[in-house]
């Protein structure tokens, strides 16, 4: 099961201006779901089906309820509420919880944060970031590059020329996302996004030259931090005995994290301009997304012509 530690909220969500109010000893607790919970019913005493594994968000409604409680009611709430091991409590609108809440959080090691965001804005931003962090992920050896807006993953055996091909594409105005190690996350079970490793981001290894920094050499316009992955291009040495696709009617796919992506096999040999072939593949892919499939269109036209000639010959 995917999870992140509660302490990670401070680093992955800097824009939410989170600050720890209490419960620092519980910052190693795990967040395992993207959903949040508004605990209004629980504060009122109804705990059936309480989503205790979710981060609990205290908006203005929950905060007003607590403030209006008598001392006895607040003691009851605290005694029942902190029996559950919540990942964390978040107080929005930059509100500081009552002192008794803070004491109970310290005693039970339950992290409490405060955020200057409104409840609505906080939940939107939190859900967006946490969905990425908890998404199924993997790492693939290859090069991810954006070509005419299409996220193209270059794969192939070591030394086949993936990085060299990527450099040529970058020089032609396309953008690098990741070289060597491509981190991939699956969002909404349907979309794959590729990211660069923080350690080696923007760097490439070119045999005979060494390590280069693409951002420094080609400028910030030559890089991206992430990109949706849409097309896989596998490079391999040309095998004369192999029958390569020539029409484009038989589309192959590859499964990555349960998502099927179109896969092209491009043979490499002297004289073949691989960067131009990849540019053409990206444009052809975009054309198919827009509803025009050149290979199928030509095949249909030929079949229609054959049918017409066959019909006329019978007459």
Question: Do residues 202 and 213 touch, judged by C-beta distance below 8 A?
Answer: yes
Catalytic residue among 29, 54, 114, 162: 162
Catalytic residue among 48, 242, 246, 315: 246
162 is catalytic: yes
180 is catalytic: yes
Measured CA to CA in angstroms, residue 298 lies from 159, 175, 288, 305, 307 at distances of 36, 32, 14, 11, 14
Which one, of 105, 64, 103, 72, lies nearest residue 86 by Cα? 105
141 is catalytic: yes
Catalytic residue among 85, 141, 172, 296: 141
Measured CA to CA in angstroms, residue 223 lies from 194, 237, 283 at distances of 13, 28, 20
DSSP-H helix ranges across the chain: 9-12, 40-43, 60-68, 71-81, 99-108, 119-134, 162-171, 214-218, 274-289, 294-314
60 is catalytic: no
Catalytic residue among 180, 263, 286, 293: 180
Catalytic positions: 141, 162, 180, 246
């Amino acid at each position: 099961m995917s999870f992140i530690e509660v302490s990670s909220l401070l680093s992955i969500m800097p824009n939410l201006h989170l600050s720890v109010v209490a419960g620092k000893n519980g910052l190693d607790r795990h967040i395992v779901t993207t959903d949040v919970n508004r605990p209004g019913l629980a504060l009122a005493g109804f705990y059936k089906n309480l989503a205790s594994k979710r981060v609990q968000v205290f908006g203005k409604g929950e905060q007003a309820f607590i403030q209006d409680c008598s001392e006895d009611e607040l003691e009851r709430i605290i005694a029942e509420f902190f029996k559950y091991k919540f990942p964390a409590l978040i107080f929005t609108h930059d509100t500081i919880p009552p002192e008794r809440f803070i004491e109970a959080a310290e005693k039970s090691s339950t992290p409490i944060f405060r955020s200057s965001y409104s409840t609505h804005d906080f939940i939107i931003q939190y859900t967006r970031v946490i969905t990425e962090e908890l998404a199924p992920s993997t790492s693939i050896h290859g090069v991810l590059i954006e070509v005419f807006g299409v996220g193209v993953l270059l794969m192939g055996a070591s030394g086949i020329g993936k990085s060299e091909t990527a450099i040529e594409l970058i020089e032609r105005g396309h953008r690098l996302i990741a070289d060597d190690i491509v981190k991939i996350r699956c969002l909404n079970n349907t979309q794959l996004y590729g990211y660069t490793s923080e350690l080696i981001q923007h760097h490439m290894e070119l045999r005979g030259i060494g390590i280069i920094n693409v951002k420094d050499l080609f400028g910030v316009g030559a890089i991206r931090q992430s990109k949706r992955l849409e097309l896989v291009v596998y490079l391999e040495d040309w095998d004369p005995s192999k029958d390569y696709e020539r029409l484009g009617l038989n589309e192959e796919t590859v499964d990555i994290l349960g998502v099927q992506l179109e896969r092209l096999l491009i043979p490499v040999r002297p004289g073949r301009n691989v960067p131009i072939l990849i540019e053409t593949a990206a444009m052809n892919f975009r054309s198919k997304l827009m509803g025009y499939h050149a290979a199928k269109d030509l095949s249909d036209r030929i079949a229609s012509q054959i049918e017409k000639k066959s019909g006329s010959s019978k007459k």
